[in-house]
Amino acid sequence: MRHDTDVLLNEERVFKPGQEIIDVLHVKDWESEIEKGKDIEKYWAEKAEQFVWFKKWDKVLDDSNEPFYKWFVNGKINMAYNAVDRWITTDKRNQVAVLYVNERGHEKKLTYYELYREVNKFANALKNLGVKKGDVVSTYLPMCPELMVVLLACTKIGAIHSVVYSGLSVGAFVERINDCNAKILITADGTFRRGKIIDLKRVSDEAMLQCPTVETVVVVKHTGIPIEMSELSGREIFYETLIEGEPAELEAEEMDAEDPLFILYTSGSTGKPKGVLHTTAGYMVGVATTLNNVFNIHDGDLWWCTGDIGWITGHSFLLYGPLLLGTTTLVYEGAPDYPNPGAWWSVVEKYGVTKLYTAPTAIRHLMRFGSKYPNLYNLSSLKILGTVGEPINPEAWMWFYKNVGKEKCPIMDTWWQTETGMHMISPLPIAPLKPGSATMALPGIDADVVDDEGNPVPVGKGGLLVIKKPWPAMFRTLYNDEEKFINTYWKEVPGCVYTAGDIARKDEDGYFWIQGRSDDVLKIAGHRIGTSEVESAFVSHPAVVEAAVIGKSDPIKGEVIKAFVILKEGYQLKTQLIEDLSRHVRYELGPVAVLGQITQVDSLPKTRSGKIMRRVLRARDRGEDVGDISTLEE
Ligand code: WT7
């Protein structure tokens, strides 16, 4: 990754949008929009007006108890009402809201009206199960329309949802469910992936043995594979059975602007995943506004975000953002290269996708197969492209720009995080683009690059990426861990400033170039995973005494795991053990944890207090200067 981003600094090409793009833009004057955004309260209040409020707010921002900011104080609103209900009395009533497509070519469409009815049925069913405002409902579901229905149903009745990504394994799953004390779990029989069906129910069964708070497990028949329901516990019920006979009408719960909307777990530098908590109104305003500004959403758009709903990208920009703007959102289940590497491009052609939002790792993966595949399809419906998840190297940017966008679609390189909820640093389509730069802070956002003291660093120099003023979709805390919330994000530099955990530079035009994480977090194919999580997984194997993990750069995944292990006496790192360790780590953490290399060592560099100095391992590995090692143990 380092190597890629160094190249970024020499990138001098600039690309401007064509007239046909400019003609239809909501924001044609970028500079004056940024100027307007400097008065954050006025700016975000104006954006909040677009929603239906049961009661308007008294105060836009309450900053009396930093960093526990409150937005739209005393406002009353409902997410599902604004994402779904409000459209059924308009021309959008019979417009497709959700277009589901899978790698087998099956599709399912739900209009706004159909979605409305489904959401109400499931919301009524949840109520019958005893779910009340503030209860936590978890899901372990594939990318399918039911997942969207379930989440909207939760928000309709004020239940807090917590999605577990369907690629996570039992251990990670259990940890998440138990941390938030979920009352209900919704899962499915399986998911389609690369021509196979992955049995999700079996993972869920294993996890449920260790999740005492879950009272009911609801099972969606999605793939149709035979599964076993446990009749005995009386805990399990099919989705279909549950909603049978439920009324398709339900009044939305009046939620306070600051009522929790969802918890989503992400990795940090300690072993325990962090429960990022988002609340209702600010999230709604931030997500809809940034999607609209960055991707210029219009009637007639077909929006496709390839990210999974199990991550924040899917929450904000597959589910909520597009529905809040009343557009059509495509949800795709399957791998990008199955049945062939043209799979995605054939979807673009067949349905006429206009805006495509994806990840650099997917682009690099598809790039491997050459320009042949995108050239086989008619991609002329595309207008704007986007990426998220990690820095995009100029080579991948250019490939995407030329072969997919045919040099007429601007690429929005959006920098943001699970914690920020919405886009933070990103171009607008009107902006001159530099391949590899996320451009500038969006209107209403105050971002900067500073040193440890909080002083802005000179042009071209690396520093900490910080956000200096609150923003509406900001997370409000870490669930059950206020102390960590404060210490991790708000204490690194003086003043009440949010530190993102990324290193960035600014160039002479004020453009941001994100360099990667500053903490012990890896980005594997855009997924966040903490080095200490991986280390614990290694150490839980009987052959391993101690382990240290760093990132190793990878041409497709950005980074993969490089592990240094101390083995128990009598063990040798031979092929069999390597395979065994790989399987073990994958079992513990899921396929997100991609192992690049395992090396056996006799000792690890540690501080005198016993902390592993990964920095030293990294420097040695790259043949760089190890820097200050005065705290290194003898
Ligand atoms: C981290 C957040 C936001 C949804 C997906 C990831 C990295 C994200 C970019 C970008 C460079 C990026 C950062 C950030 N990142 N987008 N456009 N350019 N880096 O969410 O899992 O919370 O990860 O992803 O390192 O801190 P996440």
Q: Summarize pLDDT for 583-629 with one digit per residue, the tens.
A: 999 998 888 999 999 999 999 998 877 788 888 898 888 888 877 77
472 shares a domain with 389 = yes
Query: Is residue 206 assigned to a domain?
Result: no
588 shares a domain with 565 = yes
Query: Is residue 90 assigned to a domain?
Result: no
- What's the average model confidence in pLDDT over 433-447? 97
Query: Is residue 608 assigned to a domain?
Result: no
436 shares a domain with 461 = yes
**Cα-to-chain-centroid distance, residue 78:** 22
Nearest residue (CA) to ligand 1, atom 18: 391
Residue 414 alpha carbon to ligand 1 centre in Å: 8
Nearest residue (CA) to ligand 1, atom 7: 390
Closest-lying ligand 1 atom to the alpha carbon of residue 516: 25
For residues 100 and 144, the answer to whether their CB atoms sit within 8 Å is yes
Q: What is the pLDDT of residues 166-193, one digit of tens each?
A: 999 899 999 999 999 999 999 999 999 9
Query: Is residue 558 assigned to a domain?
Result: yes
CA dist 431 and 82 (Å) reads: 30
Secondary structure letter of residue 400 according to DSSP: I
426 shares a domain with 305 = yes
Query: Total domain count for the chain?
Result: 2
Q: Where is the domain boundary, 520, 552, 582?
A: 520
Residue partners of 375: CB distance under 8 A and separation at least 6: 403
Closest-lying ligand 1 atom to the alpha carbon of residue 465: 26
CA dist 334 and 220 (Å) reads: 18
Residue 155 alpha carbon to ligand 1 centre in Å: 26
581 shares a domain with 453 = no
310 shares a domain with 264 = yes
401 shares a domain with 330 = yes
Query: Is residue 41 assigned to a domain?
Result: yes
531 shares a domain with 396 = no
Strands 96-102 and 107-111 come out as antiparallel
Range of the domain at 592: 521-602
Q: Where is the domain boundary, 478, 496, 520?
A: 520
475 shares a domain with 360 = yes
pLDDT category at 8 given cuts 50, 70, 90 is: low
CA dist 241 and 607 (Å) reads: 58
Residue 521 alpha carbon to ligand 1 centre in Å: 11
446 shares a domain with 544 = no
Q: Where is the domain boundary, 461, 487, 520?
A: 520
Provide the pLDDT for residue 5.
47
Residue 1 alpha carbon to ligand 1 centre in Å: 14
426 shares a domain with 436 = yes
Q: What is the pLDDT of residues 460-489, one digit of tens each?
A: 999 999 999 999 999 999 999 999 999 999
Nearest residue (CA) to ligand 1, atom 2: 417
Query: Is residue 149 assigned to a domain?
Result: no
| Domain CATH number, residue 368 | 3.40.50.12780
Provide the pLDDT for residue 3.
40
396 shares a domain with 534 = no
Query: Is residue 150 assigned to a domain?
Result: no
Query: Is residue 308 assigned to a domain?
Result: yes
For residues 277 and 477, the answer to whether their CB atoms sit within 8 Å is yes
| Domain CATH number, residue 567 | 3.30.300.30
